Structure 1
Amino acid sequence: MGNTDKRCFVVMGFGIKTDYINGRKLDLNKSYRLLIKPVVEAKGIECVRADEITHSGSIDVQMYRELLQADLVIADLSTLNANALYELGIRHALRPYTTIVISENKLVYPFDLNHVVIHSYQHLGDAIDYEEVERFRAALGNVIQTVLDKTQADSPVYTYLNSLIPPKLQEQIEKAMVESEKPEKAPEIGKALSLIIQEAEDAIDTKEFAKAKNLFQTAAMLSTANSGQNDIYLTHRLAFTTYKAAEPDLVTALYESLGLLKSIHLDTTNDPETVSSAGAVEKKLYECGEGDQHLEDSILYYQRSYYLLNNRYNGINLAMTLVYHATSALADSDQERIADLVFAQRTWKRVLYLCDRDWKLIQEKEKNDQALITDGTKDGQELQEYYNSQKYWILVNRAESSFGLGDFDTYREALAQSKNIPFHTWQLESFTEQIGKLEAELKKVGHLLDPQWIAPN
């Protein structure tokens, strides 16, 4: 039997967040969309996250009311989101029971939470395994039913202070709030944050970067107005769409993008996405002829993000900037140029290892998810597109690394395999442009290597 009059408030971050303890990036939107919301709604309970609340008035007021009045609160502490921890504490202070705490299973907690039951799930970074979706949905569904059926305190506050009386809103205040929420008294002043963000992401998919930039600006202003600080995920997306929109021109847009990244403590942060984004912007500025200092900074940012994440994207770009360094005025001797090239070669070899590792992982994940991929649903289609994209990038990363190492047989083999994977035109254009730049630079200094790097015919 459904609980159609009940409401669940989900406490968690949104978008792609970084776990600062281990450097992993998690797509929290997928956690919410695949693991939480369907389970709650299957119980006949309305499910809402903070970014889904329409912005009519202060979001803080609405958030505190949800934490007090929601029949059920699910708090996801993955990536140690400070707001989620704070809101969980408020919920525990306001309500003795009907609070469920979950997290990704690799989370390392910063303090003692042994007195709180935490239900864990396995997140694979930018995807969640289909079998894990099925397992956790069943587990969470059972927990929800158990929590709703009992009146035993799950809040440590009410467990240890067992004579504490939960607060209630005064009847007059409650009535006034209900009246103020009637359509005729509360004019709509904007969409829910989640809808704005989704519209922006859709615009990116269709390469409407100027439109996406405007939408992310709106989302960032709403978020900052409500929290008092810049949201890192929204700043990343705004910085990306800013330089992609290239308005009024590319160089101006790149400097604007860099300014956005500096607003989230670029110089001191350990967030790999922030420094990786800065590396890309600085690399573009160097390629646009804005000076060698941008190349120095790009190398620094790519090194930081590469060592933090140990991934192919940052490795490929770090190697490219090192080759740039070898052909720039920054390297004033053959000894320095050789050092740059040797470091680049070591990085390419590491990328080849990561390609082999990631290829095995992606094949295993795709095999496990065949039931969902072939069921004809939108989720299945999106999952297949995700696996195609991952396999394509693995193959072209292998091709580029082999090209840099002078192993042209492996380069041609990987490139031929990539053409058998469905891909977007822009992906091929991006790879082709990078290979063209790499070949042009290596032709200048390849003779310094032993054996010499000689461009293929």
Structure 2
Amino acid sequence: MADTKKRCFVVMGFGTKTDYINGRKLDLNKSYRLLIKPVVEAKGVECVRADEITHSGSIDVQMYRELLQADLVIADLSTLNANALYELGIRHALRPFTTIVISENKLMYPFDLNHIVIHSYQHLGDAIDYEEVERFRAALGNVIQTVLDKKEPDSPVYTYLNSLIPPKLQAEIEKAVESQEKKPTSPEIGKALSLIIQEAEDAIETKEFLKAKGLFQSALLLSGQKDTYLIHRLAFVTYKAAHPDLVTSLYESLALLESINLAHTNDPETVSSAGAVKKKLYECGEGANHLEDSILYYQRSYYLLNNRYNGINLALTLVYHATSPLVQNEQERIADLVFARRTWTRVLYLCDRDWKLIIEKEKNDQDLINDGTKDGQELQEYYNAQKYWILVNRAEASFGLGDFATYQLSVEESQKVKFHLWQLESFTEQIGKLKAEMKKIGHLIEPKWEFPE
């Protein structure tokens, strides 16, 4: 902390986190990258989040030092992240002023936070509207300037216990850091966590899943905790790597998900990932019990989120169930098909809803999309991906319902949107599986499901 430049430490989760109260998933990296970091740096203040700190020892020591010494702390409590709440409490105990609390506007605050000023922003889950970015940047910039200028107490600890004297532990902290730095470290320690995660994501883009697996394992070790986001990503690349073989990697992926309370969690990302792993185990011939589990997991995540992805996969597992040895008579097969058809019908509704929303958001964000920046390019890629998935989800639901005209039209529309080859391969594989199963049982419903050859 010898530099004269002021330093801001940002307290928040990283990656995609779930608000367990309302089931919403938020990309917190976008909150940090779009709403917080550029505003802080525009004020001439160095901005750092825990995952950006280069570690040579315990992450906890580094974190405590930042919470005490940082000239400014911004705490984003979105998703009621337990670590963020804990670190905010420490900051309030250590420093009487220069702490700003923010969150997305759908957060259900605990009672004990009601007396703290919390500056809110609108988060759309996997994106943030351009107009909201502009609004909140201006608002946060004004708050930062006010906090740095006035030095008025914002900690409830020092507000209500105004005789307290803030601690001065500089020597002790430096000694603890020095002690940690002398300890042996793994090869990846010495890198910032954010850099390791980015390298892992880059490896996914080039389909180097085994490399990504090793990087996420290092990131998890460096984080020092069972971070759900890192475990989700590690579970994903583990089964995608298919090393030493697909079945072994699927069981390894499942064990990772079980380590974060799969049996009882309401985290839709965890149960949805488990549904995918269990479905693949069934497809690999590992037993019908995996199919039953897959249906249960997809049902949980579908009812929690009411979204297209889980609906589409739930319907396919129901069709699998209808053709599996688990079903002994036609009445049960028809029941599975009825449930699948209801789910597909709901997916069509969700496609129409989401299409209107995404087109309106894309229209509102044209200024950013066309400004030639990396942010604009990433935003256009996001909208292209969303439109592609909506169109192929509509195609698959129509295919399952026997509406082949709408299926064909949706496929043709999807070809007009920029997409990645893996997206097309994923959709084509899914349709192939659905077609094979529906040919076995499509005659049981009226009107009969008959694919026009």
Relative to the length of structure 2, the TM-score reads: 0.96
Report the AA paired with residue 411 of structure 2: L
What SS does the corresponding residue of 2:429 show, helix, strand or coil?
helix
What SS does the corresponding residue of 2:112 show, helix, strand or coil?
coil
Q: Deviations over 1:369-406 (max 9, x none)?
A: 10110011111111101100000000000000000000
Q: Deviations over 1:272-291 (max 9, x none)?
A: 00000000000001011111
Whether 2:217 is the aligned partner of 1:217: answer yes
Name the CA shift for 1:292/1:188 in 2 (closer, same or farther; >3 Å).
Answer: closer
Matches within 5 A, 1:131-280: 131-169=131-169, 172-173=171-172, 189-224=189-224, 229-280=225-276
Report the AA paired with residue 317 of structure 2: T
- 1:405 aligned to 388, 401, 407, which one? 401
Distance 2:429 2:151 in 1: 62
Distance 1:349 1:165 in 2: 63
Corresponding residue of 2:79: 79
Distance 1:396 1:306 in 2: 18
Q: Deviations over 1:211-253 (max 9, x none)?
A: 11110011111113xxxx3111100000000000000111110
Whether 2:382 is the aligned partner of 1:386: answer yes
Distance 2:173 2:438 in 1: 71
> Does the 8 Å CA contact 2:220/2:227 hold for their aligned counterparts?
yes
Distance 2:73 2:101 in 1: 8
The Cα shift of 1:110 comes to 2.4
The Cα shift of 1:115 comes to 1.6
The Cα shift of 1:102 comes to 0.1
Report the AA paired with residue 260 of structure 2: I
Whether 2:413 is the aligned partner of 1:417: answer yes
Distance 1:370 1:72 in 2: 34
- 1:363 aligned to 359, 363, 367, which one? 359
> Does the 8 Å CA contact 2:101/2:117 hold for their aligned counterparts?
yes
Whether 2:322 is the aligned partner of 1:339: answer no
Distance 1:22 1:322 in 2: 26
Distance 2:188 2:250 in 1: 35
Report the AA paired with residue 363 of structure 1: I
Q: Deviations over 1:336-393 (max 9, x none)?
A: 0000000000000000000000001100110111011001111111110110000000
Whether 2:1 is the aligned partner of 1:5: answer no
The Cα shift of 1:205 comes to 1.1
Corresponding residue of 1:29: 29
What SS does the corresponding residue of 1:17 show, helix, strand or coil?
strand
Distance 2:202 2:119 in 1: 32
Report the AA paired with residue 296 of structure 1: E
Distance 1:351 1:443 in 2: 21
> Does the 8 Å CA contact 2:25/2:125 hold for their aligned counterparts?
yes
List runs of 5+ in structure 1 lacking aligned partners. none
What SS does the corresponding residue of 2:207 show, helix, strand or coil?
coil
The Cα shift of 1:162 comes to 1.0
Name the CA shift for 1:146/1:313 in 2 (closer, same or farther; >3 Å).
Answer: same
Corresponding residue of 1:439: 435
What SS does the corresponding residue of 1:47 show, helix, strand or coil?
strand
Distance 1:193 1:27 in 2: 17
Matches within 5 A, 1:33-72: 33-72=33-72
Name the CA shift for 1:190/1:323 in 2 (closer, same or farther; >3 Å).
Answer: same
Distance 2:232 2:399 in 1: 31
Name the CA shift for 1:175/1:195 in 2 (closer, same or farther; >3 Å).
Answer: closer
The Cα shift of 1:169 comes to 1.8
Report the AA paired with residue 287 of structure 1: E
> Does the 8 Å CA contact 2:59/2:222 hold for their aligned counterparts?
no
Q: Deviations over 1:120-140 (max 9, x none)?
A: 000000000011011000000
Report the AA paired with residue 51 of structure 2: D
The Cα shift of 1:151 comes to 2.0
Over the matched positions of the two proteins, sequence identity in percent amounts to: 83
Corresponding residue of 1:454: 450
Name the CA shift for 1:122/1:175 in 2 (closer, same or farther; >3 Å).
Answer: closer
Distance 1:176 1:291 in 2: 56
Report the AA paired with residue 25 of structure 1: K
Cα RMSD of the aligned pairs, angstroms, is: 1.8
Report the AA paired with residue 168 of structure 1: K
Report the AA paired with residue 229 of structure 2: Y
Distance 2:346 2:4 in 1: 54
Matches within 5 A, 1:277-288: 277-288=273-284
Name the CA shift for 1:175/1:322 in 2 (closer, same or farther; >3 Å).
Answer: closer
Distance 1:387 1:174 in 2: 46
Report the AA paired with residue 307 of structure 1: Y
What SS does the corresponding residue of 1:112 show, helix, strand or coil?
helix
Report the AA paired with residue 437 of structure 1: K
What SS does the corresponding residue of 2:388 show, helix, strand or coil?
helix
The Cα shift of 1:182 comes to 11
> Does the 8 Å CA contact 1:4/1:46 hold for their aligned counterparts?
no
Single out whichever of 103-112 and 82-91 deviates more from structure 2: 103-112
Whether 2:295 is the aligned partner of 1:299: answer yes
Name the CA shift for 1:179/1:396 in 2 (closer, same or farther; >3 Å).
Answer: closer
Relative to the length of structure 1, the TM-score reads: 0.95
Distance 2:109 2:209 in 1: 38
Report the AA paired with residue 222 of structure 1: L
> Does the 8 Å CA contact 2:59/2:223 hold for their aligned counterparts?
no
Distance 2:108 2:307 in 1: 21
The Cα shift of 1:112 comes to 3.0
The Cα shift of 1:307 comes to 0.3
What SS does the corresponding residue of 1:100 show, helix, strand or coil?
strand
Distance 1:250 1:387 in 2: 32
Report the AA paired with residue 407 of structure 1: D
> Does the 8 Å CA contact 2:57/2:181 hold for their aligned counterparts?
no
> Does the 8 Å CA contact 1:4/1:45 hold for their aligned counterparts?
no
The Cα shift of 1:114 comes to 2.3
